[in-house]
Every structure is written in C-alpha cells, then in structure tokens.
Structure 1
Amino acid sequence: MLSKAYQQLHHDLQQFIPATRLISDPLRTLAYGTDASLYRLIPQLVVRVESEAEMQRILGLAHTHGTPVTFRAAGTSLSGQAVTDSVLLQMGDGWRNWRIGNNAATISLQPGIIGGHANRYLAPYQRKIGPDPASINTCWIGGIAANNASGMCCGTAQNSYQTLKSMRVILADGAVLDTGDPVSRENFSASHGPLLAQLAELGQRTCANASLAERIRSKFKIKNTCGYSLNALVDYQDPFEILQHLMIGSEGTLGFIAEITFNTVEEHSHKATALMIFPDIKTACEAVAALKSQPVAAVELMDRASIRSVENKAGMPPFFKELPEAAAALLVETRALNALDLRTQVEIITASIAATPTLLPFEFTDQPDQFTKLWAIRQGLFPSVGSARATGTTVIIEDVAVAVPQLAAMTLDLQRLFDKHGYSGSIIFGHALEGNLHFVITPDFSKPAETARYKQFMDDVCGMIVHQYDGSLKAEHGTGRNIAPFVELEWGQQAYQLMRQIKALFDPRNLLNPGVILNDDPEVHLKNIKPMAAVDSLVDKCIECGFCEPNCPSRALTLSPRQRIVGLREIARLQAADEDASRLQAIQESYQYQGLDTCAADSLCALTCPVGINTGTMMLKVRSQKRGQTAQRIGNWVASHFAGVTAATRFNLAATDISHKILGTQVQGGLTGGIRKLSGNRIPQWNRYMPTAGAMPKPEINVTPDRPRVVYFPSCASRTMGPAKGDPEADALPVKTAALLRKAGFEVILPENSAALCCGQPFESKGLPQQADAKRREVEQALLKASRNGQDPIVFDTTPCVLRVKKGPEQASLQLYDITEFLHDVVLERLTIHKQAETVAIHPTCSNINMGLQAKLKAIAEACVEKVIVPDRVSCCGWAGDKGFTQPELNASALRDLKAALPDECQSGYSTSRTCEIGLSLHSERYYRSIIYLVDRCSQAKMY
C-alpha cells in the first residue's frame, strides 16, 4: 500500500504508464529494489521506464511532487548507489538500441545494453569498449558510465571518462541534451545558458586555484571514483565537455544518461599469460613496478590468503598448497595484433623482471585452454570467499588505490588491519598495474557488536589510505553509500565544497538519488544493512550480485534468480521474527506466481553465478514441498500408466489438428482462447504451431549384417508430438531420426516398451522427484538391455532427456549421446553433405548450454548451410516442459527479442527439443524443428 505522499504521484503516472509497469506490491518492490551491495532500502514505487519521453515526464512529476528518484540499470552496484526507499526508475527493454560508427571507431549505446554485448557487436571489427569491469557480462552501459567502472585492463586510460565522445543526457528538470548534436547544443544554450555559464565559471575558478587544480590532477593519476569527476573542471574549458564528463561517475545524482557514444579501442587477437609466484608481497610489487613500463595488458596481484582460498578447487596447481605464508602471485597478460609481436613482447617482459627472484620458474602460454585455466584462478577468488562464508554473513568487497610504489606497504598495512579487527581469512587481490586492490570481508551483521566492529575497521582503513598514502578510497566501484561519509576525508574541505556546488547546480532540490556520493550522515554506511536470513543450503551462499540475471527467461516478466532468493530470505526472516503477518502473507501469496510458477528451472543461472547456485533446483524443491497427497497420487498414476497417457495425448493432438483444419486458425484460436479464459487459465493455451500427432519408425525389414549398432531413445515429447500443421517437413521426429541414422550406416535399435518410458523430466519439473527418479530408473534399465550392457552408443533426440539421464546412477555404464554430440562427432563424417546457399537460425536449448554443446550445434548447421544465426539476447526459451501451454506469458517474455533478431532471408530454425520448438516457431513466425531435419535434408549416404 502506497503511503499518502506517493499516491498522487502514482495517480499522475497512471496517465501515461501502464499499470503493469507501476509496481508497488511488497514482494516486487523488495526484490526489484535489491542490488549487489550490503544495503537494503525498499522503494515505495518501482516504475519500469521504456523511453526518453516517459523519463522526461517522470522527472517533471518528481519535481512537481518533490519526490526523490533513483535510476536502476542491472543492479550490480557494490556500494549502495542503486537502492532507494522512494521511487526506483528501472530501465525496461526500450533502452537497448545501439549503432556502430564509421570503421567501428565509435559505438553509441543506450543504457540498457549489457557491456559484454557491446563488445560482441564490435568483435567483427577487432574493437571493443574501453571499460572492462569483472561484471561486464551482467552490468549495463548505464551503470558502467554512471560509476566510471574500469576493470583489469582498461586502467585510467581507457575508462568511460577517457573514451567518452558524446552523450545524450536528461537533467533533473526533464531537459534533454545531446552533446554530439550541434542543434541540441544550440537549443540547450538558449534554454540553459546560466547552467553552462556557471559550469564554465566553475572550471575557470578551479583552474585559477593552482593548488586545488594540482590536487585534482594528482588524484586522478591513479584510479579514483570517490566523489565527482572533478578532473572535468581542469581537463576541459568547453562547458558541454565539462557537463558530460561530470556525468561520468556521478551515479545518477546529476542526471540520467540516455545514450553514450564511446571511442572504441583495439581488441587484440593474440594473448599470452603467465602465473608468477614470488617469495613475498614486497618482491611481487617490485615486479609490478618493473612491469608498469612494459607492454602488459593486465597484472593481477593475489596474496597468500587469496591463493589459499582457491587451492582446494578443481584444476588448481598442486604447488599452491605448498607455498610459504608470505608468498604472493602475479597473473600477467600481454596482448598483440599478431603472433610475432606477441613473442617479442613476451621476451621483453620476461627480461624486464629477470633479476626479480621468483619461487618457481614461469613461462607465458598463448594457448587459450591453458591461459583460461590461469585466469580461472583469479576469477575464482571472490566467489571462493562468498561460498565459504558462514550462513547469514554478508560479503563486502571494497577497492582502494595507491601509487604503484606504495602498493606493497599498503597491502601489508591492510593485512595488519584484518588481524587487528578480527577479519581473519580475508583476502587481498586486484589490479596491481594500477595500484588498485580489492579486499573481501564477511561480517555477520545479525550480531549487535558487528556493526561497531565494521565501523572501527572502515575508520581505520579510510584513515590509513588517506593519511598514509593519499590514495583513493574508491578506485572503480563507485562511492555509493559506503564511502559517502568519507569523501570529504579523502578530498579535503575545498574540493568537497566544489562537489556540493556541482550537485546544487544540476539538482537544486536534491531529488536525484539523494544520499549517494554526498551525505551529511557520518554513519550512513552503517544503516539499512540488508539481512541475510538462512533459507536452504542450496541458496544460502547467494551474494545477491545479479550475475545470474541475463540468462533468466523470466527476468522481464516476474523475478530473476537473485530476486527469487531475496523473496525467500524475506519470507524466512518474517517467519523467524514472527512479525508483520499481513506482509508475510502478501509476499507468500505473490511468490507462488512470481517465484514458483514462472521459474523455468533451466539451471542456466548456475552457469554465471559466482558461487554456482542453481536457483531452479531450489524452486523445484519448494514445488515438491508444496505437493500434497492428491498431486502425489496423480503423479503415481501417470507414471504407472505412461503409455496410455501418451497415447491419449497423441489422440488429442490428432483431434485438435482435425478441428484446426475444419475451423481455421482464427476461429480455433478464438474458441480455445475463450475456453481457457473461462477455465481460469487451467486449460492449456492453443497456438497455430501446435504439433500434430507423433509417430514411431517402422522396423527395418532388410537388416544388412555387420553394421554398427546404435540405440535410439525417442523422448516422450517426440513420440507424442509430430510436426506442426503446415510444416513442409511432414515426418515425425522419430521417423526422421531413425532414417538418418540408417542413412549413416547404423542399425537402429529401439528400447523395449519405448511407449512406457520417460526420463522423468516432466515429473521433476512438476515437483515430483520420487516419480521422476522412478521413471529414470526404468529408462536406465531399458537402455542397459538395449545397448548390451553399455556396448552400443545410445542417442537421445531431445537434449533435456539425455541431460537428466546423465545425472543418474547408471550413466557411467552407458555411452550416452545427445543428438548434437552424435551428429557432430559421429554421423557427419559418415554422410556426404551438400551445403545449401541459405540462412537458418539455431537455438541451443538450456540443456544444450548446460552440457556445453552450443559450438557443436552451430558447427552442424554451418556444415549444412552458408549462414547460421544465433539470435542475440535469446537464451532459454521459457517453454520449460509445459509452461508454454500453462504460463504462455513466460515463453512470450523469454522470446520477446527473437523475431526482430532474424532477418527476412532466414526462414527456418533448428534446435534439439520438440516442446521448445513450438514456442520458437510461435514467436519467430517461422518453423523451428530438430537439427535432424537439416542434416537429413542436406545429406546423402556415402558410397563405399
């Protein structure tokens, strides 16, 4: 329920924002308002904003009502700059446009573009954006620019500030300025001349103050995101340049960045990496000083505690466990445009530190599989601490920077502060080439004394960095709330007052993200710390970073994996506290749909989660806990009568196909839609790409002796569901698969009683794990028999099925192949392929991705046709078993970008799951079918 002060704003917003994008319920305001920091503020209202026009009107209303607003991109912020207890303005899909300039020298990006996607767009030109934060595959351009995020390689030379070309910005009063458009600049000069004049005057005054100007230049020689980008006042005289560079790192407190144009940088195609082990931190930092002037792209420092945190992980070098306590490591990478230059650079770098003692010999490797393993060491540091922390504790990662010659001393001082304040086991690592180190601590704020201990620790750290090293309290993570009380400590009163003037010029009513960067409360960093209630060992290690979100098919519809965990934690907290029963009930009721019903349980979240959490598994567990005796009895009956159930399903599909032919698509759609609505959406939704009845292959009559055998397991979906009405491919998948395997020279063996078999996936997705496992055991036994106890390879035509059987106890005894693997590894070389001059799309299913088979699926298609498209921004299709029928909005949301990603010349798509292909066909308006059909169409049997 909105408080009275926000009700009028809500009323006014309803005049132009649909109700579905005005969110005020207790679950989603909590979930959408959570970011990666240690803070929790719950918005009164979340507004999903889709356009500049909407943003202008919203800011105008905020001014009218005096309502603070906070802009939200991906919410990967670590310092509390993206949370609010007022109005949260969340970017919707309308902010994802981009365009590449001439010769890819520039790229213009709206704030909703993921940083890694921008680099993907630039990859064909061997270019990339300069900033390279560790969260680049999750964080959005708006957040990268607003925080001046950097990373391992960009340093201070290639961050957003240095690579900014122009910007389109919306100010607090709703005015729009495009600094790259002369007409916009002229109009802005007419409407906002006083602001430009004041900025110019502020710059002149700052430059005239020699000591202040020098102080600012000195502070930005190293990484610094503490406070505002005061360097704009001394680097530029043009007020437009001052304005747009002040926006960089302003964390949404000065205006909204609606588009940014970056000057791109080279992406080197040749790389080499070395892991160097030194006897102590001092020696490692001496090596950093020597490497600073060499052609290195990254130098990452890891102290002994860092190495210890990963030494027991799979794939780590055995010698890690034997290193002395004082040891430290550097991970060094060099990059070049060709192999010759790379070899030369490696020689130069090696020679530069030849006199520096190391504990072990080192060598550079240019082999991707080897240097990827080396970087996995560095990338595993933060997650290793996060996963090892005690349940209920908070992960805090901070970052500071000092001049490189002071790096060793500062590192040792940090380690002493860990010991002093009892943060044993804390790790130090970071971008040593820039004097930028991260440290991770895990306080338990549920204990009353912990807040005081954290306060003392932060006071000591900030005092040490400022007074002993004149360093940066925030190197690349942004000021936020955690360092806001210390900005004046770092900068001094004169520079701090300059920041106050800047804020007053842009936001005189203090409505844009108030309390962030500048805050009068000296203890704001100790308040509103988020609770981390224990829920289940499956999710308790979640650090709420949001890395899981880009893969989630429900992220734009309901909740993401992070948000599902946030909801579970709040339910657990309220239950434990035995308070606010009405809030608990409201969240629980909303969670049924938002959290459980619309989770695809596809496990893709675990692939990008720093601590490997599979939120889908958690949702399946909760579903199972909610299943009553009636559901269990139904599950048992279906499992016991599976052949009859699938036969009935085939009959219904055949009947539906007949009615479709008689009534036509429009009438049938209207009729079935009406019936579904009357049933309260209990009746599955029909669409024109619904399958016809499936069919099984006929036994082979003339079996040629001595042919290799293959056991073919047709899934229950492919046995039941034939091609869609109107699909030029009329044969059912089992018929087509058996024919192709025979064409490739195999004798095809079907398991006995195939009609009754099921891997158990449909039962598992319904929260019936006992029935699911029972069905899998039946399949395992049938496959053992059919394959002569594992002698013969076994091929599944549906990827989710083979993934589930591969998790079973008999998988080691069976040669299990997904159809993707078997086609790629075995079948293609046994056929003559006639490559077709056409364009097709492929869709790697979530199971395909979980097994790492995307490249093989693409390679199969590329062997068959000239051009293969993997649509951008499409991962799991969200069909999720039968949810495409029961919650079709999930499938629609997951595939909302599909049709636009396919060019007109692409008229068909291929995948490896019959149910997924229904939704893919519906939302692309093209027939999607199994990759089997493409290979069969483009191949002939080899003549031996």
Structure 2
Amino acid sequence: MPTAAPPQATLAAPYDRVLAELATVLPAARPGTRLITDPLRTLAYGTDASFYRLIPKIVALVETEEEVVRLLRITRSHAVPVTFRAAGTSLSGQAVSDSVLVVLGDGWRGCAIGPAATTVTLQPGVIGAEANRRLAPLGRKIGPDPASIATAKIGGIAANNASGMCCGTAQNSYRTLESMRLVLADGTVLDTADPASCQDFQRSHGALLDRLAGLGARTRGDEALAGRIRDKFRIKNTTGYSLNALVDYQDPVDILQHLMIGSEGTLGFISSITLRTVPEHPHKASALLFFPDIGEACHAVALLKAAPVDAAELMDRASLRSIQDKPGMPPQIRGFGPDAAAVLVETRAESAAALDANVMAIGAVLADCVTIGDSRFTTDAKACDGFWKIRKGLFPAVGAIRQTGTTVIIEDVAFPLPRLAEATRDLQDLFVRHGYHEAIIFGHALEGNLHFVFTQAFDTQAEIDRYRRFMDDVAVLVVERYDGSLKAEHGTGRNMAPFVAMEWGPQAYGLMQEIKDIFDPDGLLNPGVILNGDPEAHLKNLKPLPPADPLVDTCIECGFCEPTCPSHRLTLSPRQRIVGRREIARLEASGDDPGRLAAIGAAYEYQGIDTCAACGLCATACPVGIETGLLIKSMRGERRGALARKAGSLVADHMEGTLGLTRSGLRLADLARRTVGHGVVQAAARALTGGHLPALPHSLPTAASFALTSDPAAGDDRPTVVYAPSCVSRTMGPAASDPQKRPLPEAVESVMRKAGFRIVYPEAADGQCCGMPLESKGLIEAADAKADAMLAALAKASDGGRHPVVMDTSPCTLRLRKRAADSGLRILDVAEFLGEFALPRLEIAKTAGPVMLHLTCSTRRMGLDGALTAVARACAETVVVPPDVGCCGFAGDKGFTTPELNAHALRHLPASVPDGCASGYSTSRTCEIGLSDTAGVPYRSIVYLVDACATAKVEQKARVAEPAF
C-alpha cells in the first residue's frame, strides 16, 4: 500500500534552493509531509473559498514561530514571495499564491484565558468557534463573529478584520485588540505586550517606528484627511489598510499592531493575538420580520439602530425565494409579493426579564412600520438556531443551484444607513441591467453592510467582459454615488485591489503605499493583494469549476467541511478531494496535458480515495449538504470492477459463513498472540496479506460467541423490542486486555431485561447485515440488497413496525434508517433506546471515576450526540468528550489497512484522557478498537456502562409507565 508521500517535483531556481534550505528548517517524519511540491496537493492547497486559483510552487506547513522566522529569512534571501494561510475561507483571493504558500500546522492551537475572562490570548490556528466554546462557560466570547466562524481561524479573522452579523464596527478585531505577537518580513519578532520586546524592537527597528510615528502625525495634522479617514470607518470598511490606526493612536507600536489587523498577510505574520472579550448573554430571542418592500424593511432597520438589537439581517425577495422551502421557514413566505423583504432580528440580555423588556422596546420602535405575516419573537433555541443557520446558508444556497461550470461570487459593500434602501434598489437595477437575474441581496443592515450573490461563468471572453462591466458599475455606484465601502468585511484581496485607489483617492492611497513600503520594502509578502497596480488583476487567475460528478458539482469550495475531516492535513480534505477530482475531469476532457493527468491521477489513488474515511461528517458542515464520501465510494466501486462486485455479492449471500470465518481468524490471532507475542503475529499478518494488513491493533477484539434467542410471547405482558445486533457486535468481542469479557449482545440483553423489556430477534439473525462493510468499499448494489433483506426480516419480527427495532451500532442504525425511510419501521439507535426508554425504568448508581466518551460520526449525523452524552452523564459523575476529536478515522476496516488515518485522526486524544480514567465508551465496535489503542484505556459500548450502573426498579415502588414507542 502506498503510504509514502508523492514524489516532490523538480523546481527551477531559485525555488530549488529555497526548498533545499527549508528542508533543514521543517523536519518531517516522512518526506513530502511538510514541504509539498507534488502537482495534486499544490493544486489542492492553491484553492480557497474565492473564485481565484494560483498554484503554489511550494506549500510549507509550519508548526512554530521559530520556523516562520527562519522561513522568512530564507525566502527573503532568495527574493521569493510568501503568502500565509489559515483556514482558506477567504472570499476575495487573499489566501492563494503561485510562490510559497505557508500553511498553519497543528502547533498553533494555544488558547489562554485572562483574569475574569476579560481577555483571551489566541494563536492563529485556533478556530473562532473553538475560542468561543472555551469562553462560553465564563459568559464571554470573542467579538468577531463571521458566518464562517466554525471553520475560520483566528489568524485569518484578524488578518482580514472579519466581523459578521453581531459584532458591527465596535467589536471587530481592530476594536477589541489588546496586544499581539508578530513576525515582520525580515524575521524580526515583536511582542507588543512585552516591554522588553518593545525596547529591543526600538533599538533594532527605531527607524521603522519613527516612520510610522511620522506618518501618523502627518495624517492627524491634516484635518481634512483625518476627518475623511474617520468618516470612512464609521461604517464597515476593509478596503485597503486600516488607516484609522494613524488617527486613532499616537504610539507607533499601537499604530503598528492595529495596521496588522486587516492587512491580509501583506505586512507580517500574526503569531499570537490578545483580544478583549465581550459578553455572551445567556438569554436570546429572534424574530423573522417581513415587510411589503425593501424600503419599509430599511426604514425599520434605521429605527432598530437605536433599539436594544444585537443583529438585524436584511434579506431581499430573491433571498427569501432561495430559502422559502427550507425546513423551519414559515410557509407564508411563498405567498408574499414580488417586492417583499425580511429582517432577521436578534436581541440578547442577561436575564429573562431584561429580554422581555428588550422585546417590548423593539415592538414599540416598530409600531409604526408596516409588517406582513407573523412578527412575533421566539426564545426557542432550536427555532432561533434554525433561522440563523438558514441566514448563514444564503451564500452557498445560490451556489448550490447555479448552472454547472459557473462560479458563485459574493460581493460585500457598505452604504450610509440612511441611504440603504435607495442603494439596495440601485443594486437590484444593476443586476437586471447586466443579466444577473438569479442574484440575491442580504446583509448586516444595522451597519449598512450588504452582501450580494450571483453566479458567473468565466469560460468565454464575453462572460469575463460582462463581469468587468458589472464590477465597474458597482464601483461607480458605491464610491461615486453613495461614498460607501467597496469591501465591508471580506477583505480587499485580489478582487477589489484594483479599486482601492478609486475608493480612497490619491492622498489616502499614497499613505497605504508608504505603509507597505515601511513593513515590506521588497514587496515579498502576499504580493498582488490589497495594493495592485494592474487594473485587470480581478479578471486574472480565475478558478475553473468544470463538471466532475453530480454528487459534488454544487460544491463552492468554501472549506467549511475541513475541520470535520479526519484525513485533513494527512492527505486531502473533502474540498481538496473535489478540487482534485475536478482537475482530473478537466484534464480528461481537454486531453492537453497527459503527463499532468497521469501524475495527479496516480497520487489521487492514495491521497483522495484510499485515505478517505467516508464518514459523512463533511455533509454536516457543508452548507449544501455535500457528502464527499459518496463520491469516493463511487470511485472505489469503479476501481474495483466487475470481479469485485461479484465477490461482494458472494459475501452478501453467505454472510453467516463470512462472519464465522472472521471469528475463526480472531480466535487464531488471539491464540498466536498469547503463544508467540503481538509483534510476531503482526509481522505474519503483514506477510500473509502482501502488506495489505499492515497493522494489528493491540486492542484487537477476541471472537464473540452468543446465542440469539427470542423471548416467548405467551403470557408475557412486557413491552416488546426487536433487537438487531450488528454483524460486528455478533463477531467481535472485547479485546483480550479488556477486563470486560462479555460480548455486547449479552450486555444489551442484560439492560433490556433489567428495564423490563421482552426481546425478539429477527429470523436468521446470524446472517443479517446492513451492508455497511460492502458500501464502504463501493459495492453499493450488494450493500443495498443486504440491507433490504435485513429490513424485510425486521419488518416481520416487529409485526409490520408495531414494535421498535433497537440497534447497538450507530453506523448500522444510520444506514438502515436511510434505507428504511418509507418502510414504517421505527429504528432506534442504542443511545435513543437507553436515554428515552431504558433509563426511566432503571435505578442508576453513578460511577465516581471519570470516563471518556466518543461521539461517532453516525451519532453526530443522526443528531444523537446530545442523547448519547446525556446517557453517559446519567451514569458517570465526570464525562470527558475530547473537543479535538471528531471522526476516529478507523472507518470500518481502515484502521487495519490504513492505520495512519486512524493515528492522524486521534492524534489529540491522549492529551484529553484525565488521570484516574479507566474506560471509555462509544457506540461502534470498530471505532472502539482504535480509540483503545490510542487512548491507552479500553473503549467499549455505552451499554456496558449502563449495565454496570443499573438495577431494576423495585416492583413495589410503583409500576413503571409503559414506554411511548
């Protein structure tokens, strides 16, 4: 199996010398894992959420500040440009490069909360939502709240001065900055919170500080210029550099660090940042308010500006049309007129009484506004989350319905609030004039900030010219008619760089050029971004989006999927797999570069196909629900061919025998392990399988042995459940080293009987399987046939769906639920059964020691992570759910055949195991194998924990109510 990284490309000078020198700075366990030059992965990393693509010659994964320092000194000595990248959710092309792309590795996740949580110090690799998760128990959060906060990292949030729906202009990175630690273009480190560091910097870079101080003094002394800058930043503005630093501060260090905010990596590297936190009020209410037209909606927003409102999101009629069929949307939207608009409002407070007062105040403010439909506020968290989730999905919603091959573009402007309605209508007129009939407008209306989304083809010069004319007209409209911001919060990037001088004028633009020269006189940091003398820069290096497969053609390459993916940074993420597949499709269609096609295709076998866990978690983060694993399974099926499909059918038809052989193999492995040792067994297994089974975990299961016998029906008044043990739980028992020796079905039966249930098994239960092992290998037809046969047996056992079916393995539950959507069967995952039906009928004595809990991918996808956690907490005083562990990467049998995927996915797990922890729990036997090996404590089904803590309720206490199945 090809576990080595792809061969590195031969680079021309000076990149060959840079690569050689960087190899001494960035050591790697395997070649090509931290310095990447192969055609597939450089292409994959040359993609961000924008509609631009540049392919870097070298991708360097850095782990420490010292590595950044040495990298900058090496690249500077060879005059080679460098671009820094965090999560790559940038929308304006500021995170791509055709030179050296520097990507944050795992070593940038530090988070230190200050006294009383009034400040938080974050390294640039911390995801924004993770910072908020850590602050939440203390009632605080960071100010910036971009829609991409679940993916975007602090480095990018600060470097773009990202804001979002609730932070306005008062709580963005610029306004909440306390201090930062940064690396300048020459490799010098400055910690603005450390007086000694500042003194050292004064001695080494006094001339730079003097230039900044002089620039500030000169700007503040020009009343017209200073006033112009202050006016420009009264509304959201990320066009160009943060010139407000020159008028807001006099200390050159303060000017320097505030200029870094919004500089998009063109002035230096932020290696740590301390932000002042803001309150996260526990009580919230939201309302989706509808108005007859955009004018009335904007009138309402102007009134709300002075009300206790934390967010007001404007949506035009086209926006509403794109989401009106989404779950949770009021059905009345469909009947609204062609000019209707909406404002999604949120208010927050420290107490329920204060929240009620806010809602009343807002109602009074809006009393004279004309609304249509229901205008009530709700405090229901699920309803509120649904509203905001749909609002955040407006951008990709357009992308998902675009014509294949076109690009979805989002622009981001701001207008003075009193003229918002007029400006919105003018934008709508521009759409009509240029033929963008699918365009929608929405945005953070309290700040006059509008986003508009449209689709654009770049495959002909005529289409590029149409985009050029449209953007020219947008610039004239925003700048000359309304004196607004061409970029309000998404950053200048490449997309608006040619228009910065137009917005700011020659004098202010000259300040920006001086700033760039002070920080980066050689112009090597992210060239072409923010300042770009090419008036057509926004029309070059446009990203192709050729059709690749209907399963993924709606992908807009936003990258929201990446934090969920267990193979991200080992090989490829879902976004990168789609990028690679699109390039293969493009090359196949064009036929113009067979060598590149062969190289990318060969690398994709391992990078794209073999190391994909196909766990489906990417679909939970994807705004349009793309499950990249379905594409990979399809490709696996194509790769295997007809012979493999026949073999899959044979296995499906003889499942009982196949499982018997597996049990025999486990018995032999256990015997050999006890006789000659684990190492000898592993070497033998590797030799016998030709290297296809490179790893036998120390926690290898023993063979399970258990008789599946239904309870008799006669004279039994207990509620009936159909128990469908998975083929894995029927085959794999606990590991030999696990103190627990009983097979899972025995533990499930024990809990069911304690809770007073009658157990029924389906016919021929030993041969039943949901088909998951076959599906994961791309043998979809055989997998579905096996699932259908199992569903037929379950329908009979459940008396046509009268009795619920309980499954003990979450991946199997999910697969059968999807296959049985219209069958009338109620299929319960073990977490549901335990929490809703078993625990209320049991006496529980909590265990005192801490326990680990792993939430499987399937559990999360079914929305049962909360249910499983509640079961664990009902049985243990302390439950640890590691925040840095998602999919375990064992992926059925991938833990045996591709162990590096499991190791990579669980690399953060050991640090989360608390002292005194003796066990972990989950709901998938194969996941538990890898978890046990990595954590150093045995993982087993959550059923074992419940069984250990539970006793039957005493009969004479009270008759336990019948479960409401």
TM superposition score normalised by structure 2: 0.96
1:768 equivalent in structure 2: 779
Q: Does 1:879 align with 2:890?
A: yes
903-912 or 328-337: which moved more? 903-912
Q: How far apart are residue 756 of structure 1 and its match?
A: 1.4
CA shift in 2, pair 1:201/1:174, >3 Å: same
Selected match of 2:154 from 111, 133, 141: 141
2:362 to 346, 349, 352: 349
| Segment drifting more, 748-757 vs 499-508 | 748-757
C-alpha contact (below 8 Å) 1:596/1:623 kept by paired residues: yes
Once the two structures are superposed, what CA deviation does each residue of 1:520-547 show, in whole Å capped at 9, x if it has no partner? Answer: 1000000010001001211111000001
Helix, strand or coil: the match of 1:85?
coil
| 3-state SS of paired residue (1:821) | helix
For 2:698, the equivalent position in structure 1 comes to: 688
Give, as a single letter, the amino acid of the residue that structure 1 aligns with 2:923. Answer: T
Native 8 Å contact 1:695 1:735 kept in 2 = no
Counterpart selection for 2:745 from 731, 734, 747:
734
**Cα distance per residue 1:556-607 (max 9 Å; x no partner):** 2111111111001101111111111000000110111111111111111111
The aligned counterpart of 2:334 is 321
Is the contact made by 2:708 and 2:761 (CA closer than 8 Å) also made in structure 1?
no
Indicate the residue corresponding to 1:942 in structure 2: 953
Q: 1:591 aligns with which of 574, 588, 604?
A: 604
Establish whether residue 853 from structure 1 lines up as the match of residue 858 from structure 2: no
Match of 2:537 in 1: 524
The residue correspondences of 1:402-421 to structure 2 (distance < 5 A) are: 402-421=415-434
Q: 1:533 to 1:677 in 2, by over 3 A?
A: farther
Q: Report the alpha carbon displacement of residue 263 of structure 1 after superposing the two structures with TM.
A: 0.4
Give the letter aligned to residue 692 of structure 1.
T
Amino acid at match of 1:592: E
Superposition pairs for residues 745-824 of structure 1, below 5 Å? Answer: 745-809=756-820, 812-824=823-835
Q: Which whole-Å CA distance do the structure 1 matches of 2:341 and 2:410 have between them?
A: 20
1:291-341 CA-to-partner distances (Å, cap 9, x unmatched) read 111110001111111111222334322221221222221111111000111
Question: Is 2:956 the counterpart of 1:928?
Answer: no
Match of 2:203 in 1: 190
Per-residue CA shift, 1:410-458, capped at 9, x if unaligned? 1111011111111112111000000000000101111320100100100
Q: 2:685, 2:694 within 8 Å by CA — same for their partners in 1? A: no
Q: Give the whole-Å Cα distance in 1 for the aligned partners of 2:349 and 2:874.
A: 31
1:744-781 alpha-carbon deviations (Å, 9 max, x no partner) = 11222222222211110000001101110111122112
* Residues 68-93 of structure 1 deviation map (CA, whole Å, 9 limit, x = unaligned): 01001000000000001001001000
**Counterparts of 1:436 and 1:677 in 2: how far apart (Å)?**
63
Post-superposition shift, 1:670?
5.7
* 1:829 match: 840
Compare 55-64 and 900-909 and name the one that shifted more: 900-909
Task: Tell me if structure 2 keeps the 8 A contact 1:421–1:453.
Answer: yes
Counterpart in the other structure of 1:266: 279
Q: Distance in 2 between matches of 1:498 and 1:670?
A: 70
CA contact (8 A) 1:29 1:45 kept: yes
Match of 1:488 in 2: 501
Q: 1:186, 1:274 → 2: CA distance? A: 52
8 Å Cα contact 1:669/1:687 also seen in 2: no
1:339 corresponds to which residue? 352
Seen in structure 2, the aligned counterparts of structure 1 residues 31 and 684 have a Cα distance that, compared at 3 Å, is: same
CA distance in 2, matches of 1:260, 1:466: 33
What secondary structure does 1:397 align onto?
Answer: strand
Distance in structure 2 (CA, Å) of the matches to 1:939 and 1:678? 45
Could you tell me which amino acid in structure 2 is paired with residue 318 of structure 1?
Answer: P
Q: Number of aligned pairs?
A: 941
Q: Which moved more, 1:361-370 or 1:924-933?
A: 361-370
Q: Is the 8 A contact 1:673 1:686 kept in 2?
A: no
Paired amino acid for 2:926: T
Distance (Å, rounded) in 2 between the aligned partners of 1:565 and 1:54: 31
CA distance in 1 between counterparts of 2:392 and 2:710 reads 53
Q: Equivalent residue for 1:96?
A: 109
Q: What SS class does the counterpart of residue 285 from structure 1 fall into?
A: helix
**Quick check: 183-192 or 69-78, which moved more?**
183-192
**Are the structure 2 counterparts of residues 685 and 410 from structure 1 closer, same or farther at C-alpha, using a change threshold of 3 Å?**
same
Select 2:405's aligned residue among 386, 392, 395. Answer: 392
Segment of structure 1 superposing worse, 828-837 or 701-710: 701-710
Q: Deviations over 1:3-59 (max 9, x none)?
A: 332111111111122232110010000001200000010000101111111111100
**Structure 1, unpaired ranges of 5+:** none
After the TM superposition, which residues 191-206 of structure 1 pair with which residues of structure 2 at under 5 Å, given as runs? Answer: 191-206=204-219
Separation (CA, whole Å) in 2 of partners of 1:194 and 1:874:
47
Deviates more, 1:720-729 or 1:699-708: 699-708
| SS of equivalent residue, structure 2 residue 453 | strand
Q: Is 1:209 aligned to residue 227 of structure 2?
A: no
Deviates further, 183-192 or 495-504: 183-192
Pairing partner for 2:23 from 14, 26, 30: 14
Matched AA of 1:250: S
Residue type at the aligned position of 1:460: D
Aligned partner letter, 2:630: T
Unaligned runs of 5+ in 2: 1-8, 956-965
- 1:164 matched residue in structure 2: 177
Q: CA deviation at 1:681?
A: 2.7
CA contact (8 A) 1:697 1:738 kept: no
Mapping of residues 211-250 of structure 1, within 5 Å: 211-250=224-263
- Alpha-carbon distance in 1 for matches of 2:766, 2:675: 30
Written as runs of structure 1 = structure 2, the 5 A alignment for 1:403-552 is 403-552=416-565
Q: CA deviation at 1:262?
A: 0.5
Q: Partners of 2:187 and 2:93 in 1: how far apart?
A: 25
Equivalent-residue separation in structure 1 for 2:436 and 2:803 (angstroms): 56
* 1:875-908 CA distance string (max 9 Å, x none): 1111111000000111111111111122223331
State the one-letter code of the partner of 2:375. Answer: F
Match of 1:4 in 2: 13
Aligned to 2:6: none
Post-superposition shift, 1:673? Answer: 4.3
The 3-state SS of whatever aligns with 2:759 is strand
Q: Tell me, in whole angstroms, the C-alpha distance in 1 between the residues paired with 2:68 and 2:916.
A: 37
- How far apart, CA to CA, are the structure 1 residues paired with 2:821 and 2:912? 41
Percent of aligned pairs with the same residue?
Answer: 59
Does the CA-based 8 Å contact 2:349-2:355 persist in structure 1?
yes
Tell me the equivalent position of 1:901: 912
Are 1:568 and 2:581 an aligned pair? Answer: yes
Kept in 1: contact 2:686–2:693 (CA 8 A): yes
- Which deviates more from structure 2 when the two are superposed, residues 800-809 or residues 407-416? 800-809
**Aligned position for 1:744:** 755
